[in-house]
Amino acid sequence: MKENNLKLTSSEIGTLWGEYVNGTLVDVVNRYMVTIIDDEAIKNIFKEAISTFEKQKNQIVSFLEKEGFPIPIGFTETDLYKGKQRLFTDIFCLNYLHIMTLHGMLGHTTALGVSVRKDLRDFYDSCDTDAKIMYHRTIELLLEKGNFQRDPLFYPAKNPEYVTSQDFNDGYFGKGRTLASTEIISISFNLKKSIMAKTLSIAFSQVAQSKDVRKFLTDSEKTADSQIKTFSKIMQGDNLPVPKSWETEVTTSTDSPFSDKLMLYHIGFLYQAAQNYHGAGLASAMRTDLVTAYEGTILKNLIVTKKWFNLMVKNKWLEQPPLAPNRSELSKEV
């Protein structure tokens, strides 16, 4: 049997489904942003992102149709309200594209890791290549405009050293040591993503139509702010700089460019994705205060995502992914 004639596995179908739904979400946001951006260089990079996803979307549809699976609903033009007032500055739009590109790269790598069929592996390879090109372009443009936030700089030690004290794990009461470079990777990464979640929560809460959705967005903004303060305090305790906030990159518009469904799903997506990154941070943490901070953050995020799930289900906005056959139900039909 030729490899490309193999039936797609449940994992392969799941990754295609997720790529489609999350991809159409970001695509709708990108299509709005390209209409409000004044800077030609930033506008052009968004046009490229939209064109790239259109190609990927068509390939995903082809994979699913050949396997007989329905195409997900995802997000469409009906979730985009055209001709609305500007909600974000050009620089925020560029930072948004950069952060979403990071999500895309990690997602493509995960999808590739569970793919067996060569045509699907080739597809995710091409997606990864596209994402890497966009990653480099967003960084170069942010650097050019003086808006890329680099992580803290360290000064080199004279020689490599071994850990010689149990205090290496102690981050309380000033008895421990300063942050390790391996710990700052996750702290800085998570701070930037929390800042994005907070900023989008603020923007979306200004324009959401539903009172329940506005309440959730306001609460999620407070949760993100609490997490930002927690990890910023740890960084500042070692006299290290923290990423700047983006709240001032949101205008005062109350004219919604998106459906409530899209905005609610987007924030939920960010919180769900954050659990992976906080988990990675917890795994690399070697100071007790960091371990406690990550554990508390993960628990708070679970509370947020449970509220999000209930609200999405209540409004019939949560699309169901393909499910395993229910053999018990099937046997009753005989």
Distances (CA, A) of 333 to 323, 324, 327: 18, 17, 10
- Higher-confidence position of 155 and 5: 155
322 pLDDT exceeds 90?
A: no
Q: Per mean pLDDT, which range of 175-189, 193-207, 214-228, 245-259 is the poorest?
A: 175-189
**Could you tell me what percent of the chain has a pLDDT over 70?**
93
- Higher-confidence position of 173 and 179: 179
Enumerate residues 6+ apart whose C-beta is below 8 A from 193.
Answer: 99, 270, 273, 274, 277
Q: What is the mean pLDDT of residues 267-294?
A: 91
**Could you tell me what percent of the chain has a pLDDT over 90?**
75
Helices (H) and strands (E) in the chain, counts: 9, 0
d(CA 242, CA 245): 9
d(CA 104, CA 110): 10
157 pLDDT exceeds 90?
A: no
Q: Per mean pLDDT, which range of 163-167, 213-217, 230-234 is the poorest?
A: 163-167
What pLDDT shows up at residue 1?
44
d(CA 47, CA 50): 5
Closest Cα to residue 154, out of 128, 121, 180? 180
What pLDDT shows up at residue 4?
59
d(CA 96, CA 141): 13
Tokens of 111: 């999808």
73 pLDDT exceeds 80?
A: yes
What pLDDT shows up at residue 229?
96
Cβ proximity of 266 and 22 under 8 Å:
no
What pLDDT shows up at residue 84?
82
What pLDDT shows up at residue 123?
96
Average pLDDT, the chain: 91
pLDDT in tens, 92-145: 999 999 999 999 998 999 999 999 999 999 999 999 999 999 999 999 999 999
Distances (CA, A) of 280 to 74, 86, 275: 28, 36, 9
Enumerate residues 6+ apart whose C-beta is below 8 A from 162.
Answer: none
Which architecture, in CATH terms, is 10-145? Up-down Bundle (1.20)
What pLDDT shows up at residue 152?
83
328 pLDDT exceeds 50?
A: yes
Q: Per mean pLDDT, which range of 25-34, 168-177, 198-207 is the poorest?
A: 168-177
CATH 1.20.1260.10 describes domain 176-315:
yes
11 pLDDT exceeds 60?
A: yes
What pLDDT shows up at residue 333?
62
What pLDDT shows up at residue 41?
97
Question: Domain coordinates of the chain in residue numbers?
Answer: 10-145, 176-315
Shared fold status for 10-145 and 176-315: yes
